[in-house]
Amino acid sequence: MLRGLYTAAAGMISEQRRHDAVTNNIANLNTPGYKQIRTPERSFAELLISRVRGTAEGKNAEPIGYLNTGVYAEENVPVFRQGDLQETSNPYDFALVSDIQVEGVAFDATGKSVAPTGEVTFQPQAFFTVVDGNGERKYTRDGKFTLDSLGRMVTGGGDLVLGTDGQPLSLRDPLTGEIWNQVRIQDDGILVRPGGQALRDAAGQPLGLLITRVDNPYKLVREGNGLYRVNPDDPVNTAPVNPGGQVQIRQGYIERSNVDPAQSMVDMTAALRAYEANQKVIQFYDKSLDKAVNEVGRV
Amino acid sequence: MNHSLINSMVSLQGLQQKLDVISNNIANINTTGFKRREASFQDILTSIQRQPGGFQRQGRLTPPGLDTGWGARISQLQLRMDPGELRETGNPQDFAIDGDALFEVAVPGTDASGNPGEELRWTRDGSFQWSVIPGNPDRLELTTKEGYPVRGVNDEPITVPAGRRIQVRPDGTVLAYDDSAPGSAPEVSGHIKLVRFFNPQLLEQAGSNLFRLTGRTGIPLNQASTILNAGGVPEPGQNVEIKQGYLEQSNVNLADEMSDLLVVQRAYQLNSRAIQSSDTMMELANNLRG
């Protein structure tokens, strides 16, 4: 059969995936803390093409050259660029601004650094830490929290937000049962009650939101609901980080989705047209086959 | 299947709901004591398509498996209890609360065992009136516009003698002055109850500008709220007072709602474009053999 037929079909499938990723970005234009995804495409492994009949000298495999027989889109990569901050004046909305630097490494605008040896370092990112119903830790940039009926801070999906002591953060006074519903966050991340007293954990330490630094954020598994988790087969370094300096928490703000609508529109059109072009190529192959099958050899 | 189409379709539903919330807020821009609601989005659970080991090639950034999202949905609808502006009306039957508290109102309903009784509602709308009590021409009762009695700290309706000049002190104490006998001491006719909810998200709108405690969480009233002036006067540090002759305006800010409306409309447009685009893709696939 004609090799190009399958190449064009692979092209259609990859363009479809690219289109899916772009529509998903467009769908999440207004999702706080959403990180845009992009779909890199790669060619199939190269094949060495040889002539079937040998040359006059009796060699039976004269190489012609290399050929790729297709393209595939195998991964959706989140882009961890900082989203814009939007003021909501809601005391339970928090936004993270993170620009973590690593000593001796200069990151470019995409959060990547390539050493002269070819080694690539990715910029670490900061996340809010939450725990789901099964006690598993998850990380999120969506700081749109609220209080549940017990006075614990929860995400929109109902996961409990962790405090710096690693326990779910509760704004309920353990003695009186009253909920401190006017907490303020200081620059150093400590939550204070009206009147200036810091919230304290069981050990008497001041409490704040647990912010986790993830060294290579691309290794996190995207889960939906704004959550990421560590891949147990290939764990990535995580460590608590204190706000101030490179990581800042802003109360009363949310981090908007970092999707650019104009860019998305262009990407969508590009994916659609590339899909169309591949479809045309299939039609041309179809015509060639038509000729070969129905016209060649007709008397 | 066509992911793109599902992504956009699901998101259109969410955006439509957000439009509903915004239009409800705008419609109530002049409703006394109205509290706006706010909708926020979350991306829908990602499904991971398994990939064989060969896909983990050099240069790949993410863990194995192709993760795909399914659009966005409304994740929470928050009631925003920020105070509205207080407007002076000069009407002695208008009351506004300056601070974080609510009036308590009793409406006809059923009690726990299903018998007719009273149910509790709370409101920030203090446009009350003095209503006639059937069978008791000597006294008047403080009610909302709909005629629901406003409760005092003793959990009873507040009644005053008819024909008196009524003054309400900032702490909620109701005084009835007899102007026909100048200089006489006023009758203390009760204290308007002020309730503070620890977590306003436990309240839901019940129509007629009233809130009720949502039954979903099953948390009892005495753990969800506290009475600020149980002893007649608010405890120090509560920062709350009743202002007679004022009404609280809605806390809807038209500029914010309009810009939200624009953002949502544009997102809606963009998503419908995405639907068109995925429709074109399906058409192309259908016409492979033209």
Task: Give tens-digit pLDDT for B243-260.
Answer: 999 999 999 999 999 999
Distance CA(A247)–CA(A129), nearest Å, equals 14
- In chain B, residues 5-44 whose CB comes closer than 8 Å to chain A: 7-8, 10-11, 15, 18, 38, 40-44
Residue A36 lies in a domain: no
A51 and A147 assigned to the same domain? no
Q: Chain A contact for B273, CB < 8 A?
A: yes
Q: Do residues A119 and A246 both lie within one domain?
A: yes
Pairwise CB contact (< 8 Å): A156 & B76: yes
Distance (Å, rounded) from C-alpha B176 to C-alpha B187?
A: 5
Chain A residue with Cα closest to B64: A75
A255: nearest Cα among A97, A99, A128:
A97
pLDDT higher at B242 or A176: B242
Whether A251 and A264 share a structural domain? no
Residue B199: per-residue pLDDT: 80
| Dist CA B56 CA A93 (whole Å) | 38
* Residue type at position B201: Q
Unique residue bearing structure tokens 């909920």: A179
| A189 located within any domain | yes
Q: How many CA atoms lie within 13 A of A250 on its CB side?
A: 18
d(CA A96, CA A119): 28
- Residue A21 CB-density burial (10 A; 0-12 exposed, 13-18 middle, 19+ buried): buried
The domain tally of chain A equals 2
Report yes or no for ipTM above 0.95.
Answer: no
pLDDT at B123: 94
Closest CA to B86 of B255, B257, B250: B250
Assess if residue A34 is contained within a domain: no
- 8 Å CB contact of A224 and B44: yes
Q: How deeply is B44 buried, as exposed, middle or buried, from its count of CB atoms within 10 A (0-12, 13-18, 19+)?
A: buried
- B80, B198, B223, best to mutate vs chain A, most A CBs in 10 Å: B198
In this predicted model, what pLDDT tens digit does every residue of A124-172 receive, in sequence order?
Answer: 999 999 999 899 999 999 999 988 878 889 998 889 999 998 899 988 8
Among candidates B4, B57, B267 on the partner chain, residue whose Cβ is nearest the Cβ of A19: B4
Query: Please, what's the b/e burial string for A180-192 (b: 16 or more CB within 10 A of its CB; e: otherwise)?
Result: bbebebbeebbbb
> By three-state DSSP, how is residue A298 classified?
coil
Confidence of residue B3 (pLDDT cuts 50, 70, 90): confident
Amino acid at A207: L
Residue of higher predicted confidence among B1 and A284:
A284
Q: Provide the pairing of β-strand A71-72 with A94-98.
A: unpaired
Q: What is the pLDDT of residues B102-116, one digit of tens each?
A: 999 999 887 767 778
Residues of chain B in contact with residue A90, where contact means CB-CB under 8 angstroms, are 38, 78, 80
Confidence at residue B243, expressed as pLDDT on a 0 to 100 scale: 93
Nearest-CA distance from A163 to chain B in Å? 19
Distance between CA A101 and CA A93 in Å, rounded?
A: 26
Chain A residues touching residue B84 (CB < 8 angstroms):
none
Q: Are residues A224 and A131 in the same domain?
A: yes
Please indicate, yes or no, whether residues A129 and A11 belong to a single structural domain of this protein: no
**A100 lies in a domain?**
yes
The amino acid that residue A56 corresponds to is: A
Q: What is the pLDDT of residue A299?
A: 67
CA-wise closest residue to B155 among B109, B128, B198, B190: B190
CA-to-CA distance for A255 and A247, rounded, in angstroms?
13
The set of residues, in sequence order, having a beta carbon less than 8 Å from that of B91 and lying 6+ positions away, is B245
Phi-psi region of B276 (alpha: psi -120 to 50; beta: other; left: phi over 0): alpha
Higher pLDDT, A43 or B267: B267
* Gap from B264 CA to chain A (nearest CA, Å): 8
Are residues A223 and A105 located together in one domain of the fold?
Answer: yes
Residue B124 neighbours by CB under 8 Å, 6+ apart: B33, B35, B84, B97, B102, B103, B209, B248
Query: Is residue A289 domain-resident?
Result: yes
Q: Which residues does chain B have within 8 Å of residue A260's beta carbon, measured at their own beta carbons?
A: none
Residues of B in contact with A264 (CB under 8 A): 270
A26-30, A62-66, B42-46, B138-142: least confident range: A62-66
Asked if residue A160 belongs to a domain, the reply is yes
Inform me whether the pLDDT recorded for B271 exceeds 80. yes
Residue B55: list chain A partners with CB under 8 A: 74
Closest chain A residue to B289 measured between Cα atoms? A283
The whole-number pLDDT of residue A228 equals 94
B214 or B91: which leads in pLDDT: B91
Please indicate whether, in this complex, the C-beta atoms of A26 and B11 are within 8 angstroms of each other: yes
Same domain, A112 and A237: yes
Helix/strand/coil for B104: strand
Residues A169 and A108 in one domain: yes
B75 touches chain A (CB under 8 A): yes
Contact (Cβ atoms closer than 8 angstroms) between residue A276 and residue A24: no
Instruction: Give, in order, the Cα–Cα distances in Å from B25 to each of A156, A247, B42, B201, B252.
Output: 21, 35, 21, 17, 6
Out of A30, A74, A144, the one facing B66 most closely (by C-beta) is A74
Segments of chain A scoring below 50 in pLDDT: none
* Res B20 pLDDT > 90: yes
A216 with A233, same domain: the answer is: yes
* A22 CB-side CA count, 13 A: 26
Mean pLDDT to the nearest integer, B49-70 = 82
Quote the minimal CA–CA distance from A122 to chain B in Å.
10
Assess if residue A15 is contained within a domain: yes
Interface with chain B: mutation pick from A23, A37, A152, highest number of B CBs within 10 Å: A23
C-alpha distance from residue B261 to each of A232, A257, B11 (Å): 42, 17, 16
Residues A241, A287: one domain? no
Provide the token pair at B97: 């609360």
Q: Pairing relation of β-strands A227-230 and A220-224?
A: antiparallel
At B23, the pLDDT band (50, 70, 90 cuts) reads very high
Residues spanned by the domain of A270: 3-29+41-74+260-295
**Per-residue tokens: B263:** 């953002």
B window 93-132, beta carbon within 8 A of A: 100
Which residues of chain B are within 8 Å of residue A21 when distances are taken between CB atoms?
68
- Most A-contacting residue of B5, B56, B75 (CB-CB within 10 A), to test interface: B75
CA distance A178 to chain B (A): 7
Looking at the fold, whether A50 and A117 belong to one and the same domain comes out as: no
Q: What is the mean pLDDT of residues B22-43?
A: 93
Please tell me which residue, B17 or A201, carries the higher pLDDT value.
Answer: B17
Does residue A266 share a domain with residue A145?
Answer: no
